[in-house]
Structure 1
Amino acid sequence: MFNFNGKLINEDDKILDAKNRGLQLGDGVYEELRIVSGEVIFLEEHYLRLMSSMRILRMEIPMNFTMEFMEEEMLKTISNEDLKHTKRVKFTVFRNSDNNSALARNSVSYIVTTSLLLNPFYILEENEYEVELFKDFYKNSSMLSNLNTTNKMLKIVGGIYAQENDYQDCLLLNEQKQVIESLNGNIFLIQKNVIKTPPLTDGCLNGILRKKMIEIISKLEDYELQELSISPFELQKADELFTINAIDGITSITKYRKKVYSNSVAKKLIGKLNAAARMSVSKAV
């Protein structure tokens, strides 16, 4: 079931193919969110990022496109029974056009899709998670790279490379060959008491949980946060690496080439991240 412009429709409805520039041309942006027992996690942050992305891409923002409207449309797509569970929701906005031509109007449409998640809050898995650099293509260090657009070809090809070579993830580089993120999300590197993450100017995704994690680490007395470029040579000197995104939370990297990492810092941070998620819901209430 889909929510297309407020109307619940079936997956085979042809309107999705006929009008969706996000599908046809990659001309769309989206937010992926967690809904726990009918409460949207980090709703305000996701809404503000969506509005910012639409402005950057010169999309027309409808007058009724408020945070309350976005929340209502997402909850509308979830049945009353499913509201008891944890859901992954994808809210995609794409530009309208005539006959899918390259020239577009600035008005927009949206689609809301959902799927089930098993855990209500973030769980730090202890599974093997080996990564490698993906060097076939680079991600440009521009503002467009900070946006969550529907054009994910780089990550798709990188994901196939990881699968073919038995890696759980790959690390992406920008044109200056600096590590900026993984296929799975933003990256954090820990060496002694310093925690580094690439700056947005390097081309990494402007992730909601990246921002939350920066806020959390900045309040810790035992660690120094640095938003600085990460060289591939630093990876084997690090004590710990982890990625983060709004759906999975923290994922600890266990191995890169011959380097094996611990996850002690990630274990300390996962509880604080869950606390921040709960706080976001209580503030909304």
Structure 2
Amino acid sequence: MQTHFNRAFKYGDGLFETIRVRQGKILFLEKHFARLSKGLSTLQMQDSQKPLSLNNFQEILQDFLSKQSDANLRIRITFFRKGGGLYTPNETDYDYYIEGSPLCQEAFELNIDGLRLGCCTTVQLPIDQLSNLKTTSALPYVLAALEKKAKAWQDCLILNSKGAIAESIAANVFVVKNQKIYTPDLNEGCIAGVMRQNVIEIAEEMKMVLEQGTLVWKDVLEADEIWLTNSIRGIQWVSQVEGRSNILTNKRAKRLITRLNQKVEAKL
């Protein structure tokens, strides 16, 4: 892959999926494919010879996995537009690049020690047709991560252009308050997370009351539990928040991650 011809490198003209593999099996394949398909359509990228289907997406991933020695992996597949052009592309066809790294844990594990969480003041996230996609344009998250590092947090929440909570650096956010679970709506500028979707489905199955809407920092300061979710780590709980002294709990997080692992094991 020559970076000086790569439009993802030059213009951020691409998107990616980060996928967890357990015992050689791809987790949540259909959900990843659905998000990828929407992203390719939004960016007007397509393979003119062989349009991407669920089956050939799976074949691409399985071919990569057949060459790996580890059964439990984090893989990232990046799709980028082929061809030249400046801001105006010459082509709609895409190519892809896959990389993988081994995971120590087979199942999803709740973190033993809760995370320390802050609020990003360096950058805000826009709300537009790209907000829900995992594009290769990641500078807001890089700046947020630099602030997190400087302030010795383990993650931080990023606000949208309206000043409401969108997500964290690499995860969706859930807040438990007064026996009810809240998470930012997709209209608030967050990534349409695969694990976010799974947690919503599991919470509904378990008859937990869940609402998608607008969250502000005051909700975080008043929360009983806070979780960060993504497809690699599953559910991670927050114990400390900048600006509040009391420690949060993880009672519901434990129940949800247990049920998540049960559902995954049932499909292996």
Question: What TM-score, normalized to structure 2?
Answer: 0.93
SS in 1 for 2:137: coil
Distance 1:38 1:95, change over 3 A: same
Q: Which residue of 2 aligns with 1:88?
A: 74
Q: Does 1:273 align with 2:260?
A: yes
SS of aligned partner of 2:131: helix
Spell out, residue by residue over 1:124-168, the C-alpha distance to the aligned partner (whole angstroms, 9 max, x if none). 011241111102211012221110001111111111111111000
Q: How does 1:146-161 map to 2 (within 5 A)?
A: 146-161=132-147
String of CA shifts for 1:83-110, please: whole Å, max 9, x gaps. 5x20111111111122x52221111111
- Report the Cα offset of residue 29 of structure 1: 0.7
Deviation of 1:268 (Å): 0.6
Equivalent in the alignment of 1:202: 188
Q: Counterpart in 2 of 1:171? A: 157
Within 5 A, what are the aligned runs for 1:113-124? 113-124=99-110
Post-superposition CA distance 1:174-222 (Å, at most 9, x none): 011101111120000001310000100011110011111111111223x
Match of 1:67 in 2: 54
1:78 aligns with 2:65: yes
The answer to whether the 8 A contact 1:41-1:278 is kept is no
Q: Which residue of 1 aligns with 2:220?
A: 235
Q: Which residue of 1 aligns with 2:41?
A: 55
Which residue is equivalent to 2:115? 129
**Per-residue CA distance 1:243-267 (angstroms, 9 max, x = gap):** 0000111010111122421111100
CA contact under 8 A between 2:176 and 2:223: conserved in structure 1?
yes
Unaligned stretches of 5+ in structure 1?
Answer: 1-14
Q: Following TM superposition, where does structure 1 have runs of at least 4 consecutive aligned residues deviating by more than 6 angstroms?
A: none
Q: For residues 107 and 69 of structure 1, what CA distance do their matches in structure 2 show?
A: 16
Question: 1:224: how far off?
Answer: 0.9
The letter for the 2-side match of 1:274 is N
CA distance in 1, matches of 2:205, 2:114: 30
Offset of residue 276 of structure 1:
2.8
Please show how residues 25-40 of structure 1 align to structure 2 within 5 Å.
25-40=11-26
Alignment CA distance shift 1:37-1:220 (3 Å): closer
Q: For 2:32 and 2:92, locate their aligned partners in 1 and report how far apart those are by CA, in whole Å.
A: 21
Structure 2: runs of 5+ lacking an equivalent: none
Distance 1:246 1:16, change over 3 A: farther
CA RMSD of aligned residues (A): 1.6
Change (3 A) 1:249 1:28: same
Structure 1, residues 56-85: CA drift from partner, whole Å, max 9, x if none? 1111245252222222222322355625x2
Secondary structure of the 1:119 match is: coil
In 1, distance between residues paired with 2:86 and 2:8?
13
| Residue 255 (structure 1) aligned with residue 240 (structure 2) | yes
Percent of counterpart pairs with the same letter?
26
Please identify, of 62-71 and 171-180, the stretch whose mean Cα deviation from structure 2 is larger: 62-71
Number of aligned positions between the proteins: 264
Q: Judge conservation of contact 2:184–2:214 (CA < 8 Å) in 1.
A: yes
SS in 2 for 1:180: strand
Quick check: 1:142–1:202 contact (8 Å CA) kept in 2?
Answer: no
Cα distance in 2 between the residues matched to 1:48 and 1:30: 12
Instruction: Select 2:230's aligned residue among 245, 251, 264.
Output: 245
Residue 169 of structure 2 is matched in structure 1 by 183
- Secondary structure of 1:271's match? helix
Change over 3 Å in CA distance of 1:16–1:273 after alignment to 2: farther
- 1:114, 1:81 → 2: CA distance? 9
TM-score by length of 1: 0.88
Tell me the SS of whatever aligns to 2:76: strand
Per-residue deviation, residues 107-130 of structure 1 (Å, max 9, x unmatched): 111111111111112100112411
